[in-house]
Amino acid sequence: MNCWTRREFGCIAGATCLTALTPRAVTGQAKARIVVIGGGVGGATVAKYLAMSTATVDVTLIEPKQHYTTCFFSSLYLAGLRSFESLIHGYEGLAQRYGISIVHDSAAIIDPVAKTVGLESGARLPYDRLVVAPGIAFKYGAIEGYDEAATQTLPHAWTAGPQTMLLRQQLESMEDGGVFVLVAPPNPFRCPPGPYERASLVAYYFKQYKPRAKILILDAKDNFFGQELFQDAWSRHYPGMIEWLPAQFTGGIKAVDVKGRSVKTAGDTFRAAVANVIPPQMAGQLAQDAGLADQSGWCPIDPMTFESKLQPGIHVVGDAASAGEMSKSAFASNSQAKVCAFAIAASLTGSERFPPHLFNACFTIVAPDDAMSSAIGYQAATGAIKISDFFLSKVGEDAETRRRLVREADGWYAAFTKDVFG
């Protein structure tokens, strides 16, 4: 495994690399009907790059929501460092610039034999190739007492939108001196650094407005991605405010009491002024219903094309995919979607196939003037996706480097969302 330098990371994470991945056009073939289900990062990216890759396709994107709200960077909203509106992105660019048909409806059923998608409205869409990007679903039964109704009192805020706004309202209403309890889920889950970034930025908010408040992280794991970096940042910015308890200490999260706003572990009960419970996750419900997920709860795929191993002719990209050592994140979904789009275009046009280039890049902000970064390269070898290159910030980096990363993170967000939504 190779280690990248920070300069190399800048290429992977920046707009230059996003542009460099644009496919070449192929023309002169009869049009194929491509249907993409799910308008998150993975679905929007694959729809855009399929439409760009060849003039021989008609692309339809099915997404019930009128807008997409990014979960990444949403903790900045919780901290008061970014507006909620800045997280919202529309589909107009995909329709107007790339000719993608946007259908605001929900996919109810997939018929792989007839090659049709049934919508909740009753309509049926035929397809020649289908891409499914259903995101995640929550295993509500995994924590006793935590079901969908409980999220209105103990929000997860792990899909951005009303849940994010609810958590922000609860934090604003919390009395100074209260305890914010954050339940971090077991692996695998969306955005491995996410719960700990959230704890950091909520701590920043508390430091400004509720300096006697405390944060308690009850973790389903015994360690987490970037742990040394986070704990170093907590000691520098928020000494004594954040406490992290691993599963080996608590015995694991067992139950919640919604009315009492408490979380029970094997050995204790923790009362919260505000509780943010992020439950275990699996592939989105449509993937489960369509037979795309295996016993792990995730969707096994061919790493060269992201075609389902369980349902031929259907591709799965994004958080729902079981993609070997590849993390579940927005950038990873974007990278997978491009590989999938190019593979489909090549199969339809007979053009040259290239080895997939898969990446994940991430900026994690722990204070307004302090960020860390990571970049991971992957290769598809012997039927599996494995890490080939790795870069991660280090403890002890100077303050200017960390400030610069915050500025780069803002630029990354703007370039990345433009790449996804046109």
Q: Which CATH class is domain 2-137+281-421?
A: alpha beta
At 156 the pLDDT is: 98
On the question of pLDDT at 136 being above 50, the answer is yes
Q: Where are the domains of the chain?
A: 2-137+281-421, 140-277
Q: Residue 207 corresponds to which amino acid? A: K
Question: In whole angstroms, what is the distance from residue 216 CA to residue 241 CA?
Answer: 8
At 354 the pLDDT is: 81
At 382 the pLDDT is: 74
Question: In whole angstroms, what is the distance from residue 61 CA to residue 101 CA?
Answer: 6
At 25 the pLDDT is: 44
On the question of pLDDT at 5 being above 80, the answer is no
**Alpha helices in 181-244, H assignment, sequence order:** 194-209, 227-237
Range with the poorest average pLDDT among 191-195, 295-299, 347-351: 347-351
> By three-state DSSP, how is residue 207 classified?
helix
Question: In whole angstroms, what is the distance from residue 326 CA to residue 306 CA?
Answer: 13
Residue pair 316/133 in contact (Cβ under 8 Å)? The answer is yes
* Tens-digit pLDDT profile for residues 383-396: 899 999 999 999 99
When pLDDT is averaged across residues 308-323 and rounded to a whole number, the result is 97
At 381 the pLDDT is: 76
**pLDDT category, 9, cuts 50, 70, 90?**
low
Question: In whole angstroms, what is the distance from residue 163 CA to residue 150 CA?
Answer: 12
pTM: 0.93
> By three-state DSSP, how is residue 55 classified?
coil
Domains 2-137+281-421 and 140-277 share a fold: yes
321-324: long-range contacts, CB 8 A cutoff, minimum separation 24:
321/283, 322/294, 322/296, 322/298, 323/385, 324/378, 324/384, 324/385, 324/386
* Tens-digit pLDDT profile for residues 194-231: 999 999 999 999 999 999 999 999 999 999 999 999 99
Question: In whole angstroms, what is the distance from residue 127 CA to residue 36 CA?
Answer: 9
DSSP character at residue 380: E
Give the chain's mean pLDDT: 93
When pLDDT is averaged across residues 181-202 and rounded to a whole number, the result is 98
Residue pair 366/197 in contact (Cβ under 8 Å)? The answer is yes
Distance (Å) of CA 156 to CA 75, 190, 253, 361: 12, 12, 15, 24
When pLDDT is averaged across residues 54-77 and rounded to a whole number, the result is 95
When pLDDT is averaged across residues 272-283 and rounded to a whole number, the result is 98
At 19 the pLDDT is: 42
Question: In whole angstroms, what is the distance from residue 287 CA to residue 299 CA?
Answer: 7
At 328 the pLDDT is: 98
Range with the poorest average pLDDT among 122-126, 325-329, 363-367, 380-384: 380-384
Percent of the chain whose predicted confidence (pLDDT) is above 90: 88
3-state helix, strand, coil in the chain (%, to 5): 35, 30, 40
When pLDDT is averaged across residues 113-131 and rounded to a whole number, the result is 97
For residue 216, give the nearest of 237, 236, 238 by alpha carbon. Answer: 238
When pLDDT is averaged across residues 120-135 and rounded to a whole number, the result is 97
Buried b or exposed e, range 276-291, using 16+ CB within 10 angstroms? bbbbbbbbbebbbebe
| Cα-only R_g, the chain | 21
Q: Which residues are CB-neighbours of 318 under 8 A, at least 6 positions away?
A: 38, 40, 41, 42, 43, 133, 134, 135, 328, 333, 336, 337
On the question of pLDDT at 22 being above 70, the answer is no
On the question of pLDDT at 18 being above 50, the answer is no
Distance of CA 304 to the CA centre of its chain: 21
On the question of pLDDT at 27 being above 60, the answer is no
What torsion do the CA atoms of 67, 332, 363, 79 make, to the nearest 10 degrees? 40
For residue 278, give the nearest of 172, 181, 352, 372 by alpha carbon. Answer: 181
**pLDDT category, 349, cuts 50, 70, 90?**
confident
Question: In whole angstroms, what is the distance from residue 401 CA to residue 369 CA?
Answer: 10
For residue 50, give the nearest of 339, 277, 311 by alpha carbon. Answer: 339
Instruction: Determine how many CB atoms are found less than 10 A away from the CB of residue 29.
Output: 15
At 26 the pLDDT is: 44
At 36 the pLDDT is: 98
Question: In whole angstroms, what is the distance from residue 131 CA to residue 348 CA?
Answer: 14
* Tens-digit pLDDT profile for residues 399-421: 999 999 999 999 999 999 999 99
Q: Which residues are CB-neighbours of 355 under 8 A, at least 6 positions away?
A: 379, 380
Q: Which residues are CB-neighbours of 187 under 8 A, at least 6 positions away?
A: 221
On the question of pLDDT at 14 being above 90, the answer is no
At 42 the pLDDT is: 98
On the question of pLDDT at 64 being above 50, the answer is yes
Q: Does domain 140-277 have CATH number 3.50.50.60?
A: yes
Range with the poorest average pLDDT among 283-287, 329-333, 351-355: 351-355
